[in-house]
Amino acid sequence: MSDYYYELIIKPSGNYEVFLDLLNSLVNDAIEESDDSIIARSEEDLSDIEYGINEFSKAVGIECETILSKKKNIDWIKQYQDSVKAVEVGKFYVRPSWDLEKEDKINIIIDPALSFGSGHHETTSSCLEAISEFVKKDDEVLDVGTGSGILAIGASKLGAIVDICDTDEVCIKDTKTNYNLNNVIFNNSWVGSVNKAEKKYDIVIANIVADVLVFIASDLKKCLKDDGILIISGILDKHIDKVLRKFQDVKQLKVVHKNEWITVVFKK
């Protein structure tokens, strides 16, 4: 990649399509269109192109403004990667694949994608803290609304046997990709919610939103083993009372309040 590139902005007073066709015939690089201007960018000097456009505009009698500038090239991929920061939470160190591992922590690799869950949001980090505290080796775990799979991966790395589900098929695909990235495996997966669970679990995790937690509360409790642990999150503090009313029949072990978000841990 060159250190600099050239940008040529063309603003014809009329016959926009004619100038667009002319520029397309003169340059091989990508061209950007806007309402009143055409922009060409190239690592090659565009001075000759600018001269040709100006001569053409004079010949056809159409006024045309051109602006040629030399700009510093930016490594956009590196700039983006530098903006994605690793985060340490509980027993875990959540990082993108291009970042270095932290040897004294359990590393979870999550590359940003469409699915929610990179470890930075309060709900994700408080769930990871709860997983650090309550998940044990060989526990059977269900991650409801798995998103990026970050919570499921954390539980797997603690030695749990993990099932995942999500109503969005994209999330299931992203989770499978992230599991491969982390060299761990999950036990079972399905597109849908907790009502499709075919067994009971030692630990159920649901980091969703308050209204959905209220709606699926009975199903969440139904798939818990006796003495099982339920971790729910994604709850704005203004909605906590209506959520807790749905879980009055299970023992409240812990409430984690981070900014305006709340995570609650229950025991059946």
Domains of the chain from N-terminus onward: 4-73 (3.30.70.270), 113-267 (3.40.50.150)
pLDDT at 163: 97
Q: Encode 217-237 in three state secondary structure.
A: HHHHHHCEEEEEEEEEEEEEH
123: burial class by Cβ within 10 Å (0-12, 13-18, 19+)?
buried
Q: What are phi and psi of 154, to 5 degrees?
A: -60, -45
pLDDT (mean) for 65-88: 81
Residues contacting 227, CB < 8 A, separation 6+: 267, 268
3-state DSSP call for residue 82?
Answer: helix
What the block records as the tokens of 134 is 């309550």
Query: What's the full length of the chain, in residues?
Result: 268
DSSP 183: T
Average pLDDT for the chain = 90
Give 66's pLDDT tier (boundaries 50, 70, 90).
very high
Confidence of residue 260 (pLDDT cuts 50, 70, 90): very high
Evaluate if residue 115 carries a pLDDT over 50.
Answer: no
Strand order in the sheet with 224-236: 188-191, 161-166, 140-144, 201-207, 224-236, 261-267, 251-258
Q: How confident is the model at residue 114 (pLDDT cuts 50, 70, 90)?
A: very low
Band (pLDDT 50/70/90 cuts) for residue 195 is: very high
Q: How far apart are CA 226 and CA 221, in angstroms?
A: 10
Return the CA Rg of the chain. Answer: 27
**CB–CB of 139/163 below 8 Å?**
no
Question: Both tokens of residue 165?
Answer: 């589900």
